[in-house]
C-alpha cells in the first residue's frame, strides 16, 4: 500500500536550508531519513520543493483565468516536499512519518495514495 | 528543588481521586454486566447527569454511590430495551430491586480493578490492544490521547478499542483473578501491557531513541495499583522499581537547552532521590520472594546505574551479567542491543561489536538503538566511514529531535578525529 508523506515546514525550516550554521544539520537529517527509508526498502518516490515564495498559483473559474504569485494558501507552515512510501499499513506509515525531521518542527501529513 | 509531593495541588488531587473512582466504578459495573463498553457508556451518562444535577442540589454525601445508582439504572433500562427488541431475556444477574438495595452499601463496593486488568490482558485479546484497553477502562483515558501515545490514527485506535471490548463481551472472557498455577503467565501479560504504556527506554545505549514519550505517569500509577492489589508478587514490585528508576532520571536526560544527555554524562544531582529510594524499596520487596524474573532483572540493571550516584562509577561487569540473565528469560532485540553495549564497556569494543553482529539483520532493519550503538562502537575503533554510515541510519530512524541532534554532533566528531 502506498502512502504519501506531505511535509509542511515553518519559515525557520526553509531558512535553515541555506543558513550557514544550520544547513548541515538540516540536510544531514533529510539525507539520513532518505537513507533509512531506502535501506528499509520502503522508498517509492518523492520530491523536495523550492521555498513557497517561488510558487505560482493558477485558477480558471467561470471562464476567468487568474495567475498569482505565491503558494496556494498563506499559512505559517508550507509544503516543502513529499515522500511516497510503500508499507503494509497505516501504522507503519505513521511510524515512518514520525521519523521525518519536519515532525519535530512543522507538521507531517500522511495520506493513502489512490490505487493505480 | 521542589519535591514531587509539593506539586500535587488540589486540582491534581481531584484528578487523581476521579481517576481512582472511575476505574473502580467501570470495573465493578463491567464485572456485573460482563460488558465493558456498556458499563463505560452507562457511567459516562451518570457523569453527565451529575454535571447537570450536582450544581443545583449540591454534591451528594456519597458521590460514587450516586454515580453507581444512576449508571445501574441506565444499564437496566438498556437491558430492558434490548429484551423488548430481541424478545429474549438478557443475562442479568440482578434485578432493579436488588440494585437499589446494593446501592445502600455502595460506598464499600468491592475493588474489581485487578480482574479488569486480567481481562484486558487476556490471551484471547490481541497483544497490541491490551495496553490501550487498560488505559481506557481503568484510567478513563480517551482514544485520541491513547492513539497519540502509540502513534496510531485516532479513528483506528477507536475501532480497535471497540473491537477489543466486543471480544471481551462476545467471547465471555471471565472477570476473575487467575488460579495460582496460571497466575505467573497471566500476570506477566498484565505487567508487559503496563510497561508498554511506559515506553521502554534502553538508556544503556547512548543515543537510543525512546520509541515514544509514553504515558509514564499513567503506567507508574497502574504499576503501583498492581503492587497494592497483589503485594506478594515479586515481578509486580520489579516492574514498579524499573519504571521508577527510569523516571528518576527524566530531568537529567535533557540539558538546559533541551539537548540529549546520555546516561553516563547525566548530572546525578538531577536524579530524583525519592524515586530512586522508592525503586530500591520495591526491589528489596521483590527480592524477598527469591524468584527473579524479567522485570526484577531490568530493575536491578537500573539499580546498578543508580548506584553511580554513590560510588561515582558504573559497574559494567555486573550490568553485562544481568543482561545475560535477562536474555535467558526475555530475549528481546532491545535486551540484545543493551547487552552488547554493556559488554563493550566491560570487555572492550570488539566484544560489543561481536555481540551486535550475532543479532539477525532482519530484526534490526528499523531498530534505531542498534544503529546508534553500532555507530558509537565503530567510532571507538576509528572506523570512521562505517561509523558514519551507521550514524546516518540511526539519525534517519530517530523520532526525537534532541536525539537526532546528539547523533549528528557525534558523527561530526567522528569526522574531526579522523
pLDDT tens for residues A5-56? 999 999 999 999 999 999 998 999 999 999 999 999 999 999 999 999 999 9
Cβ neighbours of A85 in B, within 8 Å: none
What is the enclosing helix (H) or strand (E) of B369? helix B368-380
B153/A94 touch (CB, cutoff 8 Å), yes or no: yes
* Chain A residues touching residue B156 (CB < 8 angstroms): 90-91
Residue B214 has pLDDT above 90, yes or no: no
Grid coordinates 524468584 are at which residue? B291
How many angstroms separate the CA atoms of A101 and B411, rounded?
17
Mean pLDDT of all residues in B383-398: 95
Does the pLDDT of residue B354 top 50, yes or no? Answer: yes
Nearest CA in chain A to B157: A91
Reported pTM: 0.88
Q: Which helix (H) or strand (E) holds B323?
A: helix B316-329
As a whole number of angstroms, the distance between CA A16 and CA B121 comes to: 47
Does the structure show a pLDDT above 90 at B99? Answer: no
User: Is A39 in contact with A99 (CB distance < 8 Å)?
Assistant: no
**Tell me, what's the pLDDT at B226?**
96
Q: Given the DSSP bridges, would you call strands A56-61 and A107-112 parallel, antiparallel or unpaired?
A: unpaired
CB–CB of B201/B208 below 8 Å? yes
Q: Does an H or E element contain A78, and which?
A: strand A78-86
> Chain A contact for B365, CB < 8 A?
yes
* pLDDT value at B163 more than 50: yes
**Chain-wide mean pLDDT for chain B?**
89
Res B3: pLDDT: 44
With 80 as the cut, is the pLDDT of residue B409 above it?
Answer: yes
Give ipTM to 2 decimals. 0.86
Q: Where are the alpha helices (DSSP H) in B87-201?
A: 96-103, 113-120, 127-137, 143-150, 154-170, 183-198
Q: Which of B343, B340, B350 is nearest to B370 (CA)?
A: B340
Ramachandran quadrant class, A84 (left: phi over 0; alpha: psi -120 to 50; beta: rest): beta
Q: Which residues of B touch A101 (CB under 8 A)?
A: 401, 404
Which one of B12-26, B140-154, B292-306 scores highest in mean pLDDT?
B292-306
Q: Is B397 on the interface with A (CB under 8 A)?
A: yes
- Backbone angles phi and psi of A4, in degrees to 5: -110, 130
What is the pLDDT at residue B93? 47
Using CA atoms, how far apart are residues B335 and B48, in angstroms rounded to an integer? Answer: 47
Q: How many residues does chain B have?
A: 418
3 state SS of A1: coil
Could you say which residues from 38 to 57 on chain A have a Cβ atom under 8 Å away from some Cβ of chain B? 39-40
Mean pLDDT over residues B396-408, rounded?
A: 93
Indicate if the pLDDT at residue B11 is higher than 90: no
Q: What was the pLDDT predicted at B100? A: 47
- d(C-alpha B159, C-alpha B244), whole Å: 32
Q: Do A94 and B151 touch (CB under 8 A)?
A: yes
Q: In Å, how far is A102's CA from the nearest CA of chain B?
A: 9
Task: Give the mean pLDDT of B381-404.
Answer: 94
- The residue-averaged pLDDT of B74-79 equals 91
Q: What whole-number percentage of chain B has pLDDT above 70?
A: 89
Is the model's pLDDT at A105 over the cut of 70?
yes
Instruction: Convert the pLDDT of each residue in B244-276 to its tens digit.
Output: 999 999 999 999 999 999 999 999 999 999 999
User: What is the grid cell recorded at B292?
Assistant: 527473579
Per-residue b/e over B193-217, b at no fewer than 16 CB within 10 Å? bbbbbbbbbbbbbbbbbbbbebbbe
Task: Give the β-pairing of A2-9 and A64-69.
Answer: unpaired
Question: Above 50 in pLDDT, residue B2?
Answer: no
Residue B362, pLDDT > 70, answer yes
Question: Are the beta carbons of B283 and B303 closer than 8 angstroms?
Answer: yes
Distance (Å) from the C-alpha of residue B259 to the closest C-alpha of chain A?
14
- Span B123-139, pLDDT tens digits: 999 999 999 999 999 99
pLDDT (tens digit per residue) in B318-353:
999 999 999 999 999 999 999 999 999 999 999 999
Non-local (6+) Cβ contacts of B272 within 8 A are B4, B247, B248, B249, B250, B251
Predicted local confidence at residue A95, as pLDDT = 94
Give the pLDDT band of residue B4 (cuts 50, 70, 90).
very low
How would residue B87 be classed by pLDDT, with cut points 50, 70 and 90? low
Phi-psi region of B36 (alpha: psi -120 to 50; beta: other; left: phi over 0): alpha
pLDDT of residue B98: 52
pLDDT at B5: 46
Average pLDDT over residues B281-293: 95
Interface subset of A 6-35, CB within 8 angstroms of B: 25, 28-29, 31-35
Of the two residues B118 and B416, the one the predictor is more confident about is: B118
Whole-angstrom Cα distance, residue B112 to residue B115?
5
**Shortest CA distance from B364: residue in chain A:** A40
Measured CA distances, A36 to B278, B397, B398 (Å): 40, 6, 10
- CA B116 to chain CA centroid, Å, is 16
Other beta carbons within 10 angstroms of residue B303's beta carbon come to: 19
Q: Tell whether the model's pLDDT for residue B8 goes beyond 70.
A: no
CB contact under 8 A, B365 and A105: no
Residue B265: DSSP 8-state? G
> What is the mean predicted confidence (pLDDT) over B202-221?
81
> Is residue B175 predicted with pLDDT exceeding 60?
yes
Query: Which residue among A35, A98, A103 places its CB closest to the CB of B393?
Result: A35
Amino acid at each position: 500500500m502506498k502512502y504519501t508523506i506531505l511535509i509542511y515546514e515553518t519559515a525557520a525550516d526553509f531558512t535553515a536550508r541555506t543558513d550557514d550554521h544550520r544547513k548541515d544539520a538540516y540536510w544531514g537529517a533529510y539525507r539520513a531519513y532518505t537513507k533509512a527509508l531506502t535501506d528499509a526498502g520502503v522508498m517509492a518516490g518523492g520530491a523536495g520543493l523550492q521555498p513557497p515564495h517561488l510558487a505560482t498559483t493558477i485558477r480558471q473559474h467561470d471562464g476567468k483565468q487568474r495567475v498569482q504569485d505565491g503558494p496556494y494558501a498563506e499559512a505559517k507552515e508550507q509544503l516543502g516536499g513529499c515522500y511516497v512510501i510503500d508499507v503494509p499499513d497505516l501504522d507503519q506509515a505513521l511510524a515512518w512519518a514520525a521519523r521525518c525531521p519536519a515532525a519535530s518542527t512543522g507538521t507531517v501529513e500522511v495520506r493513502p495514495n489512490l490505487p493505480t | 528543588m521542589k519535591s514531587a509531593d509539593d506539586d500535587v495541588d488540589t486540582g491534581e488531587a481531584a484528578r487523581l481521586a476521579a481517576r481512582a473512582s472511575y476505574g473502580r466504578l467501570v470495573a465493578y459495573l463491567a464485572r456485573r454486566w460482563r460488558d465493558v463498553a456498556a458499563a463505560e457508556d452507562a457511567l459516562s451518562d451518570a457523569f453527565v447527569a451529575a454535571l447537570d444535577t450536582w450544581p443545583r442540589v449540591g454534591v451528594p454525601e456519597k458521590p460514587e454511590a450516586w454515580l453507581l445508582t444512576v449508571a445501574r439504572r441506565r444499564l437496566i433500562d438498556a437491558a430492558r430495551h434490548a429484551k423488548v427488541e430481541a424478545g429474549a431475556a438478557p443475562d442479568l444477574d440482578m434485578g432493579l430491586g436488588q440494585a437499589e438495595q446494593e446501592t445502600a452499601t455502595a460506598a464499600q463496593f468491592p475493588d474489581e480493578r485487578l480482574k479488569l486488568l486480567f481481562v484486558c490482558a487476556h490471551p484471547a485479546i490481541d497483544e497490541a490492544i491490551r495496553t490501550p484497553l487498560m488505559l481506557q477502562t481503568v484510567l478513563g483515558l480517551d482514544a485520541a490521547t491513547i492513539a497519540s501515545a502509540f502513534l496510531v490514527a485516532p479513528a483506528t485506535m477507536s475501532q480497535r478499542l471497540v473491537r477489543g471490548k466486543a471480544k471481551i463481551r462476545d467471547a465471555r472472557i471471565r472477570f476473575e483473578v487467575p488460579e495460582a498455577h496460571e497466575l505467573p503467565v497471566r500476570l506477566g501479560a498484565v505487567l508487559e501491557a503496563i510497561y508498554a504504556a511506559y515506553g521502554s527506554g534502553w538508556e544503556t545505549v547512548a543515543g537510543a531513541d525512546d520509541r515514544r514519550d509514553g504515558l509514564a505517569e499513567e503506567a507508574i500509577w497502574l504499576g503501583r495499583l498492581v503492587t497494592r492489589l497483589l503485594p506478594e508478587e515479586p515481578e509486580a514490585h520489579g516492574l514498579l522499581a524499573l519504571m521508577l528508576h527510569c523516571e528518576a532520571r527524566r530531568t537529567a536526560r535533557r540539558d538546559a537547552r533541551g539537548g540529549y544527555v546520555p546516561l553516563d554524562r547525566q548530572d546525578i544531582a538531577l536524579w530524583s532521590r525519592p524515586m530512586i529510594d522508592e525503586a530500591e524499596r520495591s526491589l528489596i520487596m521483590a527480592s524477598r520472594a527469591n524468584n527473579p524474573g524479567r522485570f526484577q532483572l531490568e530493575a536491578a540493571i537500573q539499580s546498578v546505574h543508580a548506584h553511580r550516584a554513590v560510588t561515582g562509577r558504573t559497574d559494567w561487569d555486573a550490568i553485562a551479567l544481568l543482561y545475560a540473565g535477562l536474555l535467558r528469560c526475555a530475549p528481546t532485540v532491545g535486551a540484545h542491543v543493551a547487552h552488547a553495549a554493556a559488554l563493550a564497556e566491560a570487555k572492550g569494543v570488539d566484544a560489543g561489536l561481536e555481540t551486535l553482529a550475532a543479532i539477525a539483520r532482519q530484526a534490526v532493519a528499523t531498530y534505531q538503538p542498534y544503529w546508534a550503538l553500532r555507530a558509537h562502537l565503530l567510532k571507538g575503533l576509528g572506523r570512521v566511514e562505517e561509523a558514519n554510515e551507521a550514524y546516518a541510519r540511526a539519525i534517519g530512524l530517530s523520532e526525537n529531535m534532541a536525539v537526532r541532534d546528539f547523533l549528528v554532533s557525534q558523527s561530526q566528531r567522528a569526522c574531526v578525529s579522523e
